Amino acid sequence: LLHLADCVERTGPLWTTWAFPMEQFCSQLQCAVTGHLNPYPGIDRHILQLCQWDILKLKY
């Protein structure tokens, strides 16, 4: 959370710069929800796959 102050100083108010990335992230998480009774395993799996793809992109 400490990086937020620097980010606000660089880019301006959060409501002008943060809305689109946050909406995009929430829509990605919404697609990851596979079960309505317990949505967390699907979200965990989705975030894990995103991290694995990032590692593969860096490695190769």
Report how far apart, in Å, the C-alpha atoms of 21 and of each of 45, 47, 50, 56 are: 21, 16, 16, 23
Per-residue pLDDT at 23 = 84
pLDDT tens digits for range 8-55: 788 888 777 777 888 888 888 888 888 889 999 999 999 899 999 999
Per-residue pLDDT at 49 = 93
Distance of CA 27 to the CA centre of its chain: 9
Please count the structural domains in the chain.
Answer: 1
Could you give phi then psi for residue 35, rounded to 5 degrees? -130, 135
Per-residue pLDDT at 41 = 92
Per-residue pLDDT at 13 = 80
Distance of CA 56 to the CA centre of its chain: 18
For the chain, helix (H) and strand (E) counts, in that order, are 4, 0
Q: Which pLDDT band holds residue 5 (cuts at 50, 70, 90)?
A: confident
Rounded Cα gap, residues 21 and 6, in angstroms: 17
Per-residue pLDDT at 1 = 63
Domain that holds residue 31: 3-59
